[in-house]
Structures are given as structure tokens and as C-alpha cells.
Amino acid sequence: MKIVVLKFGGTSVGTVERIKRVAAIIIRFINKKYKVIVVSSAMSGVTNDLIKKSKELSTDFNSAEYDALVSSGEQMSCALIAGRLNHLGYKSRSWLAWQIPILTDGNHRSARINAIKTNNLKKYLNEGGVPIVSGFQGINSNKRITTLGRGGSDASAIMLAKYFKAKKCVIYTDVVGVMTTDPRVYKKAKKIKIISYEEMLEMASLGSKVMQSSSVQDARLNRIDIDVKSSFIKKDGTLITKRKNITNNKIITGISSTKNDAKITLVGIKDKPGIAASIFKPLSENNINVDMVVQNISADGKETDLTFTIKLEDLNKTQKLVKLNKIIKYKNLIIDKNVSKVSIIGVGMITTPGVTFRMFQALSKKNINILVISTSEIKISVLISKKYVKKAVSTLHKEFNLDSQDEH
């Protein structure tokens, strides 16, 4: 059985006309002899309207009721899609999370799929039906509706692909695919034709909003190919797949940049073992994510400077926690709110020496000063002054030949 999971995002089902287009896309797959499982988000706007109402009723709306409330949006869109397919002569029905069921654990508003009971859907697929599954939701052990948090419909689609051993999962959205860099930062950004899970994870965690990292990670663990494409234009999107399927010889696949970072430097702290841990432990306990870290040993080897970056939104909390910390002593605390992280990402750099040098040289030629550096196997990140972000991205995009081709 050749199974495909098709997931449609909120804008793709945002109007009656768009739902008609979605039905036509589904039929194309049926005609290609696929067994199709559809996952739909709520019509765009619906969920936001419901959230607005909940906020008007309570500044701290009950989480279980929030989930009951917002999950109604997917119920609508799924029924509308199934009704449309019926109208066109295809056997189809909506499957709500509780009817399948899709079981979750964890908290309301941010549950995780624990298991999908496949019997009901399998039977339905074998009868030739096209199930339209409500994304973004499941039920917990108390039979309460639980939602999966931001990007939850992607998670639903990937997990269905996993449980049904689907050949692939197509994520229909309102963008043409994953871009080499944010087009708002550099307008010559190109669509990436093929990208590895690992690169995508680095892109996603660094600000690319096409898919949530957890869904990419689930796809990676289960070896599910993901096609990200637009439901509005009939054109290839981006294939997210395993590394060995990537045969081109690009060094760099994409460039990401952040906004809203902050840099904190503790000047003149005693250099003794465990000092970094004693600073970062209380931050971690307060859900503050420390990103880049660098420690400079001073000339006499007794004192050290510690620099780290956090999200700007965590700055006040971080300052308080550092000041309350009685274990560490420092001479000065310097804050820089005007920093950004620019990263180049690519599995190609593993086999290509000198990428770091090329990156630093290109930035240096443009007089862009590097404040902090961090690297991983497939990524090199530099912290720079926020005002140089656009210049840095365009420089690196050209340096690594990302705007020299029509499309990647």
C-alpha cells in the first residue's frame, strides 16, 4: 500500500475557494494510486479569533478549556474538506482525534502524541476511504482534548506518517518551500530544493519558521521524507530527507540570522572550576536558554571574563538572577542589546576544509567585527552587531554561491 500523508496549514484551507483547491490536490494523489491520509489545520483566522475571545473572558484562561475551544477549528475544516470530496464523488470523512484515537501525554496546550491507534483508520483506508484527520490535537487519558502547541498539525502529520509507514509526508503551506535565507533580510534568497534533516533542524532552531524543530526531529528519527510546498502554486517545494539522498556538492545550504538577542559579559570573575555552572544553573532552572558562551582567560590566569547570549526577552530576568547569585563575584556586568547571530549551515562543510576561514575573511572584508563564535559539525555561527545583519547575510550568500543559481 503506497501511503502518503498530506498536511494543509491554516492559510491553505483559509476560505471556501481554497478548500476546493485542497480537494483538487488530494484528488491528484488519489489518481496517482496513493492511499491518502489528510491532516488539516483550522482555517486561518479561526483559532486567533477564538483565542481573542478566551482572553476577553479570562486573563488566565483554563488550559483544558482552551484546548476544547481551539480544537473546534480543526473539526470545522476537516468536515468541510470531507464534505467537498464527497460532493466530488470520493469516499471521505472527517476523523477527529478522539474518534481514531490519537493519544497524548503531557500538558494541555503543549501535549505530545504518545500513540496513534491505527485500527479504525486502517480499516477505513482499506475500504477506499480518504480520512481527513484533525491536526494539532489528541486526547489524554481522561478523554480530554489536548492540543499540541505551535506547529502541532505538522506533528500530527509526521506521527501519522510514522504509524502508517507512509512513503512521504507533504506539508502544504503558504510559502514555496524552505529558503536559503530569510527573504526579508536578503531579497535574493532562493528556494532550497533538497535539504537534510540535520540542516533543517539548524535552520529551524535558528529562526526559519517553516516547520517546528520537534516535527523535523520526529521525521528524522523515523526516516520520513517531507515535501514542503505551496498549496497555491503547482511547483516543486523543498524536500527534507536523509543526508545520503543529497548528491549535490554545495558547501552551504542556507544562512540564518536572529533578531532580539542580548549579550551579557561578566568582567573579572574568579577563574575556578565550576564557575560557569554556578552561573548557568539558576538560568536553566528558570527556563532561560543560554545560547553562545565564551570564556576568556585573563593575562594573570586568576581572573576571567565570561560572555554569553540569551533572548532579549529574558534579559531582565537574567540580570536579576545573576545579581542574586551569591556564589559568583565579578567586577563589572556589561550588557549589549544590539547583537545578532548569523549562521551558515551545510553538510558540505564537513568534507570541505577552510569554510570557517572563508566566512571570517568575507565578513572582515566588509569590516564586520565578530564578537562571539560558535560552531557545530554543520554550522558556523557568529555574533555581530545588529546593524550589520543584512550586510553579513548578503555577503555570505554571495560568498557561498547561493544567489548564483536560479534555484537550489
Nearer to a copy of itself, 231 or 394 (CB): 231
Using CB under 8 A as the binding rule, whether residue 127 contacts a copy of itself is answered as no
Nearer to a copy of itself, 54 or 356 (CB): 54
Instruction: Pick from 3, 21, 93, 311 the residue near a copy of itself by CB under 8 A.
Output: 93
Nearer to a copy of itself, 141 or 338 (CB): 141
Helix-then-strand count for the chain, H and E: 12, 19
Instruction: Pick from 1, 32, 45, 57 the residue near a copy of itself by CB under 8 A.
Output: 57
Beta bridge partners of 74: none
Using CB under 8 A as the binding rule, whether residue 110 contacts a copy of itself is answered as no
Name the phi and psi angles at 290, rounded to 5. -85, 130
The nearest distance, CB 15 to a copy of itself, in angstroms, is 9
Coil, strand or helix at 259 = coil
Instruction: Pick from 8, 34, 66, 400 the residue near a copy of itself by CB under 8 A.
Output: 66
Reported residue count of the chain is: 408
362 HSE (CA, 13 A, CB side): 20
b/e burial code for range 374-399 (CB count within 10 A of at least 16 → b)? beeebbbbbbbebebbebbbbbbbeb
Using CB under 8 A as the binding rule, whether residue 16 contacts a copy of itself is answered as yes
Q: Tell me the site size for a copy of itself, rule CB under 8 A.
A: 39
Residues 6+ apart with CB under 8 A from 45: 10, 14
Q: Under rule CB under 8 A, which residues in 271-310 are in contact with a copy of itself? A: none
Instruction: Pick from 27, 30, 51, 64 the residue near a copy of itself by CB under 8 A.
Output: 64
Using CB under 8 A as the binding rule, whether residue 87 contacts a copy of itself is answered as yes
- Kindly state the helix (H) or strand (E) to which residue 262 belongs, with its residue range: strand 261-270
Asked if residue 260 lies in contact with residue 315, where contact means CB atoms within 8 angstroms, the answer is no
Residue 324 CA to residue 237 CA, distance in Å, equals 50
Using CB under 8 A as the binding rule, whether residue 176 contacts a copy of itself is answered as no
Instruction: Pick from 4, 82, 111, 211 the residue near a copy of itself by CB under 8 A.
Output: 82
Q: Which ranges of 238-368 does DSSP label H, i.e. alpha helix?
A: 275-285, 315-324, 355-365
Using CB under 8 A as the binding rule, whether residue 167 contacts a copy of itself is answered as no
Using CB under 8 A as the binding rule, whether residue 107 contacts a copy of itself is answered as no
Residue 173 CA to residue 148 CA, distance in Å, equals 18
DSSP 98-122: GGTTEEEES-TTS-EEEEE--HHHH
Using CB under 8 A as the binding rule, whether residue 209 contacts a copy of itself is answered as no
Q: Under rule CB under 8 A, which residues in 376-395 are in contact with a copy of itself? A: none
The nearest distance, CB 166 to a copy of itself, in angstroms, is 24
The nearest distance, CB 30 to a copy of itself, in angstroms, is 17
Instruction: Pick from 68, 267, 328, 373 the residue near a copy of itself by CB under 8 A.
Output: 68
Asked if residue 210 lies in contact with residue 11, where contact means CB atoms within 8 angstroms, the answer is no
Q: Which ranges of 32-71 does DSSP label H, i.e. alpha helix?
A: 46-57, 63-70
Nearer to a copy of itself, 43 or 383 (CB): 43
Using CB under 8 A as the binding rule, whether residue 75 contacts a copy of itself is answered as yes
Give the other-Cβ count within 10 Å of 64's Cβ.
16
Instruction: Pick from 29, 98, 280, 360 the residue near a copy of itself by CB under 8 A.
Output: 98
Of 82, 78, 73, 6, give the one whose Cα is nearest residue 45: 73
Query: Which region, judged by CB under 8 A, interacts with a copy of itself, from 123-131, 139-147, 256-264, 391-399?
Result: 139-147
Given the rule CB under 8 A, which residues bind a copy of itself? 16, 19-20, 50, 53-54, 56-62, 64-66, 68-69, 71-73, 75-76, 78-80, 82-84, 86-87, 93-94, 96, 98-99, 143-145
